Amino acid sequence: PANRLKNFGVNLWAEFSSLAKEHKATNIGQGFPDFVVPDFLQEEVRKAVAIPSANWYTRAQGHPRLVKELAAEFSPLFNRSIDPMSEIVTGVGAYEVIYAAITAFINEGDEAVVIEPHFDCYAGDMDLSGGKLVRVPLRPTGDAKYAKNWTLDREEFEAAFSERTKMLITTTPHNPIGKIFTKEELEYIGSVCKKHNVIILSDEVYERVVFDDNEHVRIASLPGMWERCLTVGSAGKTFSVTGWKIGWALGPANLISQLQHVSSCSTFTAPTLLQEAVAGAFEYERSVAHTDDAYFKWLPAKLQQNCQMLSDAFSEIGCVPVWPDGGYFMIVDTANMGWDFSDLKTGRCYDVDCVKWLTREFKLATIPISVFYGNKNRHLAAKYIRVCCAKSDETIVRACQIIRSLK
Ligand code: PMP
Ligand code: GLN
pLDDT at residue 321, as a whole number: 98
The overall longest dimension of the chain from CA atoms, in Å, is 61
User: How far does residue 50's CA lie from ligand 2's centre (Å)?
Assistant: 32
Q: Supply the mean pLDDT for the chain.
A: 97
Closest CA to 28 of 334, 350, 309: 309
Confidence of residue 15 (pLDDT cuts 50, 70, 90): very high
Q: Is the CB of 366 under 6 A from ligand 2?
A: no
pLDDT digits (tens, 9 = 90+) for 119-167: 999 999 999 999 999 999 999 999 999 999 999 999 999 999 999 999 9
Q: Domain-by-domain residue ranges, the chain?
A: 10-37+294-404, 39-287
Q: Do domains 10-37+294-404 and 39-287 have the same CATH topology?
A: no
**Assigned CATH class of 39-287:** alpha beta
Contact 193, 220 (CB under 8 A): no
Q: What is the pTM of this model?
A: 0.98
pLDDT at residue 297, as a whole number: 97
Lowest-confidence region among 210-214, 275-279, 306-310, 343-347: 343-347
pLDDT at 318 over 90: yes
pLDDT at 354 over 90: yes
pLDDT at residue 10, as a whole number: 87
pLDDT at residue 239, as a whole number: 98
Q: Does domain 10-37+294-404 have CATH number 3.40.1080.10?
A: no
Q: Is the CB of 118 under 6 A from ligand 1?
A: no
pLDDT at 88 over 90: yes
Confidence of residue 204 (pLDDT cuts 50, 70, 90): very high
Q: Is the CB of 30 under 6 A from ligand 1?
A: no
Q: How far apart are the first and last CA of the chain?
A: 47
Minimum-distance ligand to the CA of 169? 1
| Rounded Cα gap, residues 33 and 388, in angstroms | 9
Of all protein residues, the one whose alpha carbon is nearest to atom 8 of ligand 2 is 13
Q: Is the CB of 172 under 6 A from ligand 1?
A: no
Contact 321, 332 (CB under 8 A): yes
Q: Is the CB of 31 under 6 A from ligand 1?
A: yes
pLDDT at residue 277, as a whole number: 98
User: How far does residue 124's CA lie from ligand 1's centre (Å)?
Assistant: 14
